[in-house]
Amino acid sequence: MPTTPATVAATDRHADVPVMILTGPPGAGKSTAMRAFRRRFPGLIHFGVRVFFERQIEQGTPLGLRAKKFHDTKVWHPDELIFDGIASWLDEGLPAATRVVLEGFPRNRSQARALDGVLGDRGLRVDRLVYLNVPDEVAAARVMTREVCTSCETIVADAIPVPGTACVRCGRQLVRRPDDDQQTFRRRLARQRQGAVELLDHYEALGVVVRIDGTSPPAQVAAALEVAAPAAQIAARRIQQPATRGA
């Protein structure tokens, strides 16, 4: 008896789960927007390269062991490692997911094409790419004056670095991120700007790009993100009740 190809089975199972990419330069406000977005959409699964691999490192997983040397030296993770992480994350999270968000990834056309393949193998596609627009000077000012919680990733903007400062959400220590120093930030920004041109070209050809003004207040950005998000077809689908049989 012939078997059903894995990709066909995956298509049948996950076709109604919308996928969104949230991207923009460092300091655009992606993490802040994502916190509000997660509260609005229970069942959402969220992938960010840095956070995902930091947790893998903490847990001592095989992916974490592979990622540690790149994390320790502030070198961008190679594409092969990232896509192994995305595949693992999707396969673990999809059975219970209502929607999927990738934050800050992919960064260029080649990564976008590879992501399209990974998603397609699981019956998914990118339904929306949301780009947070901020000028370089705004991004730099934000990054140079922020701290982040070592536990829950809460970002404190306009913070004065004070050793031992506690997070208002969980009480853990606030620190400067290692990649927020001036030199590393400028490299990250230049690389992001270069890749964004071809990334946007790739997804504009598919008609899924929405731009949001990232200089707006956080509440306005969160509201705009909610409006831009692809609708969950599975949530909008009406459940057909069986007809009542006559006596």
**pLDDT tens digits, one per residue of 162-173:** 555 666 667 666
Is 116 within 8 Å of 35 (Cβ atoms)?
Answer: no
Residue extents of the structural domains in the chain? 13-135+184-232
In terms of Cβ atoms closer than 10 Å to its own Cβ (0-12, 13-18, 19+), residue 36 is: middle
Helix (H, G, I), strand (E, B) or coil at 203: helix
The confidence score (pLDDT) of residue 73 equals 80
DSSP state of 77: P
The confidence score (pLDDT) of residue 215 equals 93
Q: Measured at the alpha carbon of residue 123, what is the angle toward residues 5 and 38, in degrees to the nearest 5?
A: 145
Residue 192 tokens, joined? 């992001």
The confidence score (pLDDT) of residue 95 equals 93
- Residues pairing with 47 in the sheet: 102
Task: Report the alpha-carbon distance of residue 228 to residue 18 in Å, rounded.
Answer: 12
Which of these, 116, 10, 96, lies nearest to 45 by C-alpha position?
A: 96
Alpha-carbon separation of residue 9 from 3, 6, 91, 243 (angstroms): 10, 5, 13, 29
Place of tokens 């996928």: 19
Is 138 within 8 Å of 144 (Cβ atoms)?
Answer: no
Query: Which residue intervals of the chain are DSSP H helices?
Result: 6-14, 30-40, 49-59, 62-72, 79-93, 109-120, 136-144, 182-204, 218-228, 233-236
Question: Using one digit for the tens of pLDDT, what is the confidence trace for 68-124?
Answer: 988 888 778 999 999 999 999 999 999 999 999 999 999 999 999 999 999 999 999
Instruction: Read off the pTM.
Output: 0.76
Residue 26 tokens, joined? 């460092």
- Residues pairing with 149 in the sheet: 174
The confidence score (pLDDT) of residue 150 equals 62
What is the layout of strands, in order, in the sheet containing 174-175? 155-156, 147-149, 174-175
Task: Report the alpha-carbon distance of residue 86 to residue 162 in Å, rounded.
Answer: 36
pLDDT tens sequence for the chain (247 residues): 333 234 433 444 566 899 999 999 988 889 888 888 888 888 999 999 988 998 999 999 999 999 998 888 877 899 999 999 999 999 999 999 999 999 999 999 999 999 999 999 999 999 999 999 999 888 888 877 666 766 566 665 544 445 556 666 676 666 666 666 677 778 888 888 899 999 999 999 999 999 999 999 989 999 999 999 987 543 433 223 333 333 3
Is 203 within 8 Å of 116 (Cβ atoms)?
Answer: no
Residue 72 tokens, joined? 């320790």
State the CATH architecture for 13-135+184-232. 3-Layer(aba) Sandwich (3.40)
The confidence score (pLDDT) of residue 4 equals 29
